[in-house]
């Protein structure tokens, strides 16, 4: 009987741990009280007052970056440590830093519509992707798509454009949004709806 109770407690603790948030979020507002002494120079009288200051404090956030692994058959997950709440631009900078995206890559305008995150990238991104072989291209796109989908809970697909036009490479024209990919094979495209 004792073993059953211990086993049930262990299962309950695991379930509670699984329900905990994956990333810390913004902490409550911090309130500080400071005494300020002011002196009136005409009367030389000192007055002490309490000043209450509120400041928003942030914990660190740990968004996940998907970076091509050394075997070139998938991605390693790297936690990017950021103070406060990260943006898509921060994620792109992290991917560039880890050489998962070409130098100079900039995400211009992320826009979530329904379950599709529309991202418009710059020419530096397109030129870097165009210099890759098929596997390198897919790893680079997978890094971008997987990272953005891990960041956006409500998105299931990422539509990539460059200067407002579908991304065009030497291997493909990406008219359709891309989904999360667990391996380096271009099998996760959104089914066309017509």
Return the SS3 of 68.
Answer: strand
Return the pLDDT at 139: 94
- Domain boundaries, given as residue ranges, for the chain: 60-174
Of all helices (H) and strands (E), which one includes residue 137? helix 134-151
Q: How many CB atoms lie within 10 A of CB 67?
A: 21
Cα first-last separation, the chain: 60
Identify which of 33, 93, 84 has the alpha carbon closest to the alpha carbon of residue 60: 84
Return the pLDDT at 183: 58
Q: Which residues contact 137 (CB under 8 A, 6 or more apart)?
A: 129, 169, 171, 172
Return the pLDDT at 92: 93
Return the pLDDT at 60: 61
Q: What's this model's pTM, rounded to 2 decimal places?
A: 0.65
Return the pLDDT at 2: 57
Predicted confidence pLDDT, tens digits, the chain (194 residues): 656 655 555 555 544 444 433 443 334 444 444 444 444 445 555 555 554 544 444 466 678 899 999 999 899 998 877 777 788 988 999 999 999 999 999 999 899 999 999 999 999 999 999 999 999 999 999 999 999 999 998 999 999 999 999 999 988 999 999 999 875 554 444 444 43
């Amino acid at each position: 009987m004792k073993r059953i109770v211990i086993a049930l407690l262990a299962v309950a603790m695991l379930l509670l741990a699984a329900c905990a948030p994956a990333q810390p979020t913004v902490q409550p507002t911090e309130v500080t009280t400071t005494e300020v002494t002011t002196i009136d120079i005409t009367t030389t009288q000192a007055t002490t007052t309490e000043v209450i200051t509120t400041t928003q404090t942030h914990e660190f956030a740990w968004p996940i970056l998907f970076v091509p692994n050394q075997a070139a058959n998938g991605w390693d997950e790297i936690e990017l440590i950021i103070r406060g709440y990260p943006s898509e631009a921060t994620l792109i900078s992290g991917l560039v830093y880890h050489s998962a995206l070409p130098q100079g890559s900039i995400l211009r305008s992320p826009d979530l519509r329904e379950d599709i995150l529309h991202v418009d990238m710059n020419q530096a991104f397109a030129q870097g992707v165009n210099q890759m072989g098929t596997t390198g291209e897919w790893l680079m796109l997978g890094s971008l798509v997987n990272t953005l989908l891990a960041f956006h809970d409500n998105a299931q697909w990422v539509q990539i454009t460059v200067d407002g036009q579908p991304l065009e490479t030497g291997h493909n024209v990406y008219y359709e949004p891309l989904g999360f990919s667990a391996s380096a094979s271009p099998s996760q495209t959104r089914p066309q709806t017509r």
